[in-house]
Every structure is written in C-alpha cells, then in structure tokens.
Amino acid sequence: MINIPYVLCLICGLELESLVHLFFRWWVVVNVCQLNFRWLQLQDVEVGDIGSLFDWIDSVKVNTKKKMAVDVVVCTILWISASSRSSSISSGPRLTLSVSKQFEGF
C-alpha cells in the first residue's frame, strides 16, 4: 500500500494535483494566459498538454517580435507555476493561495 497523504493541489487545494491542472487548468494560470493573450491581441487557446501548447506557439502567425513575446510569456507562466508548486512543497500546502486570491477578479 502506498500512503499518499495529500493528493489535492498544494497551491489551491481544489483539484487533484497533476501537471495538467498546474499548467493548464489552475484558474490563476488560465486567467494570466487570457490576459496576456488579449494584450498580445491573440485569441484564447485551450490546450491540455505541453506538446499541444508548443504546437500552438509554432502555428501562431505573427511578426517576429510578437512571436518572441508569446514565447517569453508562455515560458514565464510555466516557470512561475512550477516555482509556486515547488514553494508549496517546501513550505506546506496552500502557501501561495493568498497570492492566487489576488488574481480572482481577473
């Protein structure tokens, strides 16, 4: 028997922890992506895995500067999500929930 003491997301505590939740379904990530894509004048996109995300990035038809901005925004969002999760592991469950609450209105 494997003892799994906490299977809910360590950041929000609302869904089962998974890569899909952390990078594609966690409402903070979804809202930040939507805001950034609007700022970049791109349509919202829903993807469910890293491969589909990078396929979408490759397919975006924009000028070089905007393409670089898309790359930076997406990679930064992924990095911040992973960093938030790592911080939660070392400091305990739902450490960053208060930070997440700041984005609720977006």
Query: What digits encode the pLDDT tens for the residues 13-28?
Result: 788 888 888 888 888 8
Please tell me the predicted confidence (pLDDT) of residue 93: 47
Q: What per-residue confidence (pLDDT) applies to 5?
A: 59
> What is the per-residue pLDDT for 79?
86
Q: From CA 52, how far away is CA 65, in angstroms rounded? A: 22
Q: For the packed helices 27-39 and 64-91, what is the interaxial angle rounded to 10 degrees? A: 160
Q: pLDDT below 70 — which residues of the chain?
A: 1-6, 86-106
Residue-level pLDDT at 48: 82
What residues form DSSP beta bridges with 16?
8
C-alpha span between 45 and 67 (Å, rounded) = 15
What is the pLDDT at residue 98? 42
Residues 57-67 have pLDDT tens digits of: 888 888 999 88
pLDDT at res. 87: 67
In whole angstroms, give the CA distance from residue 100 to residue 28: 6
